[in-house]
Structure 1
C-alpha cells in the first residue's frame, strides 16, 4: 500500500468521528439545555527523510532541511461549548433555566448497581411519588435531583406552591401553611473539555479525573454565583445553519480523501500492469 492510501485512510476514520459529532449536535437542536461539541484536528507524527548528506548544500534554504512527509490528521479534541442558549418562557413553577454559562444541576444515576453523580443543564424538573405523603424531585427521565449535599430532594406532605429563587433555593409551601426549603445542587464547570456525554443529556467525569480539577461545588458563600430563572427553559446552543455548513465541509473533505484512495489504487494498477 503506498503512502497516499495510508495518509487518506488515517484521515478518513477521523473525519467520520467529526461527522458523528456534528450529527449528534443537529439531532439535539431542540433538546433543552444541550451544549454542542466542537471538533478540532491535529497532525499525526511527521516522518523526516534526510536525503541531503552535505549540509552545505542546504544553505539559504527557507524550509527545514530534509523532506518531511505527513501521515494524516487525527481528532485532537471534541470540546464542549458552554455558551448560553436562548431562554423560552414556560411559566411552569418547576421549570428553571440557568442564566450564567458553565453551571449544571446534579442528578443521581445508578449504573450496574453503582450510584454516580452526573450533571445536566436541563432545568425541566418533575415530582415522582414515593408514597401517599411523599414525593421526590426528579428530572425528565425520573432520575433524582440532588441538593448541595448530594442527597435526593424529597418533599413530605401536600404542597400547593413551589418557588425557586435566583440562587437555587427551592421553597415548598404546604397546604397547611408550613414551608420546606432545599438548596438545589449546582456545580460550576472549570474545564469543560474533560466532561463526557453519558446519554440522556447528561454529562459525567472520566474515571481517572478528579472532580476538583474540573468542577467547583457552589455551596456556602459560593451559592451567590448561581443564577437561575424560574418558569423558563434554556434551549440548546446549536446553530443549525452553522452545523449544516460544517457538515457539508466535512463531507467534501471525506469525498476528497476517498478519491485519493481511488487514484492511488489506479496508479498502483498501472504500475503493476507494466511489462
Structure 2
C-alpha cells in the first residue's frame, strides 16, 4: 500500500520513476502427517500438509520506462530521451561536497557563489548541475540565450551576438539501476559499490548529452 500511494502521489512529479512491488508466498505451518507409501506413488509435491496462506513483499523494483516529454518553452528545461540516463547534481551535505543523480531536467539560473559577477545553473533546490568533470557551469551576466549543441555542448549567446562555450553537458548512464537508492525529490544515490562487490565501471559510465539523448525544450 505504501508503494502504491507513493507512486500515485508522485505521478506528476518531473523525473519521477515508480517502483513495482513483487510478492512471495508465505507458509505459516507444515503438518508432517503419517503417510502410506502405497498411495504416494508418483507424488510430486512435498509430504505433509501445509496450513496457512498469504504473501509478503519480496522486493520493490525501480521501473525505468521512458515517460512522456512535454514542450515547456524554457531554454533551461532538458528532457533525457533514453532510459537509464541521469543528470549529475552537486550539493553540500553537512559541510561535505556530494552528488546525486536525477532525471528531473528543470533548471534555473542563480548567482555563482564563487563568482558574484557570473551565473550558474541549479535545480529547484539550488543544487548545481555538473559537467563531465564534476564542475558547475559558469555563465557571464551579459548573455541573451542558452543553446544545447548537437554534441552536448552548452553555449551562451552573448548580447553582442558572439558565442561562448560553457562546457560539455554529460549524462550518467546507470547499468544496474536496481542498485540506486532513493534520495528524495526524484533523486538517487549510488551506494557503496565496494561494499556490494561492484566496480564503478560495472555500474555506471559517463556519456555525452548529445542530440538524441537530450532534448532542449
Provide the rounded CA distance (Å) in 2 between the counterparts of 1:148 and 1:215. 13
Q: 1:104 aligns with which of 77, 86, 102?
A: 86
Which is greater in Rg?
Answer: 1
Indicate the larger mover: 125-134 or 78-87.
125-134
Matches within 5 A, 1:185-200: 185-200=170-185
Structure 1: runs of 5 or more not aligned: 1-18, 232-275
Which residue number in structure 2 is paired with residue 218 of structure 1?
A: 207
Which residue number in structure 1 is paired with residue 187 of structure 2?
A: 202
TM-score using structure 1 length: 0.68
Which residue number in structure 1 is paired with residue 22 of structure 2?
A: 40
Alignment of 1:122 with 2:88, yes or no, is: no
Which SS does the other structure have where 2:67 is aligned? coil
CA contact (8 A) 1:172 1:179 kept: yes
Provide the rounded CA distance (Å) in 1 between the counterparts of 2:21 and 2:128. 32
CA contact (8 A) 2:32 2:49 kept: yes
* Greater strand share, structure number: 2
Which of structures 1 and 2 has the larger relative contact order (alpha carbons within 8 angstroms, sep 6+)? 1
Which SS does the other structure have where 2:154 is aligned? strand
TM-score using structure 2 length: 0.84
Which residue number in structure 1 is paired with residue 214 of structure 2?
A: 228
TM-fit CA distance, 1:169: 2.0
The change in CA–CA distance for 1:138 and 1:227 in structure 2 (over 3 A counts) is same
Show CA shifts across 1:87-117 (max 9, x none).
1111211111111222110001322233222
The change in CA–CA distance for 1:110 and 1:70 in structure 2 (over 3 A counts) is farther
The change in CA–CA distance for 1:96 and 1:224 in structure 2 (over 3 A counts) is closer
Provide the rounded CA distance (Å) in 1 between the counterparts of 2:120 and 2:25. 50
Which residue number in structure 1 is paired with residue 64 of structure 2?
A: 82
Q: 2:158 aligns with which of 161, 166, 174?
A: 174
Structure 2: runs of 5 or more not aligned: none
Show CA shifts across 1:134-183 (max 9, x none).
11111111101111111122224422210013543211222342412311
Q: 1:64 aligns with which of 12, 36, 46?
A: 46
Provide the alpha-carbon RMSD of the alignment.
2.5
Provide the rounded CA distance (Å) in 1 between the counterparts of 2:91 and 2:52. 44
Provide the rounded CA distance (Å) in 2 between the counterparts of 1:133 and 1:158. 10
